Chains A and B, each alone.
Chain A
Amino acid sequence: MRYKLILFCLFIWMLASVSGKELLFPEPKPGIKPHIKYVGQVPPYDYEKNSSFFEIIFGEESELANPDFIGKPYGVVYARGFLFFTDTAHGVIFSYSFKTKNLKILELPIRLRLPMCLAYSKKLNVLFVSDATLKKVFGFDSKGRLVFAVGKRGEFKKPVGIAVDDNLERVYVVDTFDHRVKVYDFNGNFIRGFGHRGDKDGEFNYPTNIAVNRKNGNIYITDTQLFRVQVFNKNFEHITTIGGNGNIPGRFARPKGIGVDSDGNIYVVDAAFNNFQIFSPEGDVLYYIGEAGTQPAKFLLPAGMYIDENDRIYIVDSFNKRIQIFQYLK
């Protein structure tokens, strides 16, 4: 009879260890302070309530069971209590209200084909979206009216990453197939472009995502097919390069989404590693979060990411059809 008691104790311990545990990174230890906390996900899902007995005991993870309501998300942005993310399968933008917990498809005057990345200007209160098939970048106001559009015939080969700098009043567009970043003012006038195909500093090989530092205007670009991240200052001068091909910390295999927090730390999502790595402003490895999986703080083919003014980190977990949210604790 003794083994039954042992099994029962083991079961209780497992339940206890699964429920109510805060996910902190790094795990708090003497002398080690956690810097990042897992907050939740959109659409919300209760893993404790919904996980079956077998999932808890054997760690079996359900797969390919998600509904097709959300197809294949890529880009994400937060604005005024709403989380917006693109769905590249259905060609729509979803909006999620943190207040009402309502998830719906944005109604727009333009039928998007392949919406990729999103950006938000607080100054203009405009949501920007890049469409890689229409080869245009649009801006919509809070009522859904079209207020910004760039991308004349032949202007973009494939616009993907976009970012807004409210202080300098610039819109950055990463043209992946032109290996170039194109800069516009808030009226849609072309200011300048920088970069071309190559492997030197300031050159790109299929760059995709972009982020802007709100404090100093630095520009962070994932140079996806050269497995690196390049940092530029607001005058487009190259500052540093992080990465290189390899399966160890500080290197990348498929870098995608990028973000920067209020301390200037750089976050880079890697779709092959199923994690995101965190770097100091100088490019030193600080930590990484994530591995392949379907549970909280695990990823499958993560894509775009965004960090808001309050250091909330939003990461698109495309195969798991969700946006995972973390908080930078400083």
Chain B
Amino acid sequence: MTAYLYAAEDFVSLPVEEGGEYEKGIRATKHNLAEYKGKFLNPNIAGEYNLALCMWCHTQNIDVTFVDVEYKWDPEKEVDKFPVYGQTKKGPVLKSVAPSSMVCLSCHDGANAPNITFGKSSTGTSVHSHPVFVIYRKDRKYLRPYNSPLIGWEGKKHFVYDLIKDYNGRLQCASCHDPHTTNPLFLRSKNRGSKLCTGCHAL
């Protein structure tokens, strides 16, 4: 059985050689769902599970040709992999929501992890926890232009444009957060002196 990591298209690809940094971010934080009393829980996979820390989000990709599965109600139906996180075989279903945001929301439902809610308030006062999936309007006075540099941010985010260039200009979870970091609240920057906020917001 071949097993490798299934990473959503724009997902931060995981460099195995440089994995130390990522491993620290997962292992030392609440995103470590695998470790209990110094031992890794077995996520019921065959073979080695040294990737156990990753598997909680990067679902194990299994080659169906090596697995003996059939649908009992329709044995002739072709057995195929399930695309994960809001994607079909053709790609993401929604143009405004990144698969990586779907990864966050699949656990942050109030049951497993703090509830993340979002949306257009119908009453005037928003009950929602996050302004995620809002459109970044570059023409607004209080928002910095697209080519403003993001200094000291983690990950491949160098300019404001990198945060919103896909998905119809809407902010995603990964615009501000990196699940692999040890920063407080998994922010992309330590946010000393509101550095994270002022990356986009002009005073």
Contact = CB atoms under 8 A, between A and B. Distances in A.
Tell me which of B45, B110, B120 has the highest count of chain A C-beta atoms within 10 A of its own C-beta. Answer: B110
A271 B106 contact: yes
Nearest to A241: B44
Interface in B52-91: 55-56, 59-62, 64, 67, 69-74, 76-77, 79, 81-88
A287 interface: yes
A88 B109 contact: yes
Contacts of B133: 64
Interface residues of B, number: 58
B50 interface: no
A199 B41 contact: yes
Interface stretch (A97-105, A142-150, A242-250): A242-250
B110 A248 contact: no
Interface string A47-77: 0000000000000010110111101101000
B53 to A, nearest CB: 12
Contact of A160 (B71, B76, B111): B111
A contacts with B: majority SS:
loop
B202 to A, nearest CB: 26
Interface stretch (A14-22, A182-190, A219-227): A219-227
Contacts of A69: 122
B70 A285 contact: yes
Given A63-B97, A253-B84, A116 B107 contact: no
A135 B154 CA distance: 36
Interface string B14-49: 000000000000000000010010000111110000
B69 A224 contact: no
A161 B105 CA distance: 18
10 contacts: A67-B120, A67-B122, A114-B110, A226-B44, A245-B45, A245-B60, A248-B64, A248-B81, A249-B82, A272-B84
Interface of B: 6, 33, 36, 41-45, 55-56, 59-62, 64, 67, 69-74, 76-77, 79, 81-88, 92-97, 102-103, 105-107, 109-112, 115, 117, 119-123, 127-128, 133
Given A89-B128, A301-B86, 13 more contacts: A26-B77, A63-B94, A68-B121, A69-B122, A198-B36, A205-B33, A208-B111, A226-B41, A245-B59, A247-B81, A270-B82, A287-B77, A288-B82
